[in-house]
Amino acid sequence: MTLSSSDYKTHAKRLRDALGAEGINLSHGKALDIVARQHGERDWNTLSARTGTASPVNDQPAPPFVVGDAVEGAFNGNAASGRVIGLAETIKPDLWRVTVKFSPPVDASTSQNFRAERTRVEMVVGADGRSRRLTGTETGVMALRRA
């Protein structure tokens, strides 16, 4: 059974209430971190990113990927596949900074005479998984989707 972000938050509230009844005071944030560790993550932020349901603010759209997702698509016009190993919000509500570990490595060069293979790339993407500048304009460098 897959739990949602709100399920984990409910667990944290119950933990906090139960410990409070025993005279152990705990902040809600600390309770969230403990619940995350119980589920194999280092902290609440990591668990929240893994569930893909981090609390939306002002109806912010959901990110196109979550940490751990297998992805495939194109990087500089070359076939690419890998796994999402990092995800962070940007200053724009509909753009995310994603870190992808490619396997096999991708050629980041656009030259026919030179190869620059990369195993890890960090880019800003929109909800469609396409690379963007922080202004929102498409860069055309990367287009990924869940595999």
List pLDDT tens digits, range 70-125.
Answer: 999 998 888 999 999 988 888 887 888 999 999 999 988 878 888 889 999 999 99
Confidence (pTM): 0.61
Residue 31 has pLDDT above 50, yes or no: yes
Residue 57 has pLDDT above 70, yes or no: no
> Are residues 144 and 71 in contact, defined by beta-carbon separation less than 8 angstroms?
yes
The distance from CA 28 to its chain's CA centroid, rounded to whole angstroms, is 23
Whole-number Å distance between alpha carbons of 98 and 81: 14
